[in-house]
């Protein structure tokens, strides 16, 4: 575990992280609000102080699981006892029905799960096309810009039609829910568990930076 300074994080990555945190914890950062903050620990403390909700020592992961299990059971019209933390999402949502079932589950939940992605080979192919198109700009701008435009349209289409799962099990999805929709994953959205916040923030930063972080 290494100490991370705010200055160690790429500006664009940090902006993406802060947007995710704003959405998940239902807070808003003002311009230059974080200017004096230099360490992750300070940032985590600041975020915690901005969550103006009642502190309640209950488990958000548990509540998210019950919420998700109920939504899946209602959508599939099965007994909720058949759905456990280790249940495979691919079994619950067969590929050919996945997009329709997911929309119904999200409707029950009241928020998006951001669960699907395109096949790796499709994503890689489009990335290669982008790189080739940028390189071509130096030799033939018309062909280069055409390639970039095709890539942009291609990315929009494949993500719209995506059917591959980003996570494998119900437990994985529960963790994803609590990171990306923390407040909405709680039974009572006017409360939060103060003890969970720093742990979830650490998970968010570790996932983005692809390395363990410490305060």
**pLDDT for 161 beyond 90:** no
Check residue 155 and give its pLDDT: 67
Q: What is the dihedral of CA 197, 198, 199, 205, to 10 degrees?
A: 110
Check residue 211 and give its pLDDT: 52
**pLDDT for 1 beyond 50:** no
**Residues comprising the chain, all counted:** 215
116-117 vs 164-165, strand pairing mode: antiparallel
pTM of the model: 0.81
Check residue 8 and give its pLDDT: 81
- Structure-model confidence comparison of residues 79 and 14, the more confident one: 79
**What residue has token string 């019209």?**
77
Query: pLDDT > 70: what percent of the chain?
Result: 94
Check residue 144 and give its pLDDT: 85
Gap between the Cα atoms of 183 and 193, Å rounded: 10
β partners of residue 169: 88
Hey, where are the domains in the chain? 1-57+191-215, 120-160
pLDDT level of residue 9 (50, 70, 90 thresholds): confident
**Per-residue pLDDT reduced to its tens digit, 90-142:** 999 999 999 999 999 999 999 999 999 988 777 788 788 889 988 898 888 88
Contact 149, 137 (CB under 8 A): no
pLDDT level of residue 148 (50, 70, 90 thresholds): confident
């Amino acid at each position: 575990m290494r100490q991370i300074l705010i200055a160690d994080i790429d500006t664009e990555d940090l902006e993406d992280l802060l947007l995710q945190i704003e959405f998940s914890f239902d807070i808003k950062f003002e311009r230059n609000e974080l200017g004096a903050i230099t360490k992750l620990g300070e940032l985590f403390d600041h975020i915690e102080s901005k969550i103006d909700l009642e502190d309640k020592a209950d488990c958000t992961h548990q509540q998210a699981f019950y919420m998700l299990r109920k939504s899946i059971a209602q959508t599939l019209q099965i007994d909720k006892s058949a759905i456990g933390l280790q249940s495979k999402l691919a079994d619950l949502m067969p590929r050919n029905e996945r997009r329709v079932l997911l929309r119904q589950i999200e409707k029950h939940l009241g928020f998006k799960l951001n669960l699907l992605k395109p096949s790796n080979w499709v994503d890689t192919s489009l990335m290669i096309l982008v790189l080739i198109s940028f390189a071509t700009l130096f030799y033939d701008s018309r062909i280069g810009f055409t390639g970039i435009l095709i890539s942009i349209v291609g990315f929009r289409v494949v993500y719209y039609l995506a059917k591959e799962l980003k996570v494998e099990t119900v437990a994985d999805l529960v963790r994803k829910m609590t990171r990306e929709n923390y407040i909405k994953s709680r039974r009572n959205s006017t409360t939060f568990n103060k003890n969970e916040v720093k742990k979830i923030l650490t998970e968010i930063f570790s996932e983005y930076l692809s390395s363990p972080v410490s305060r």
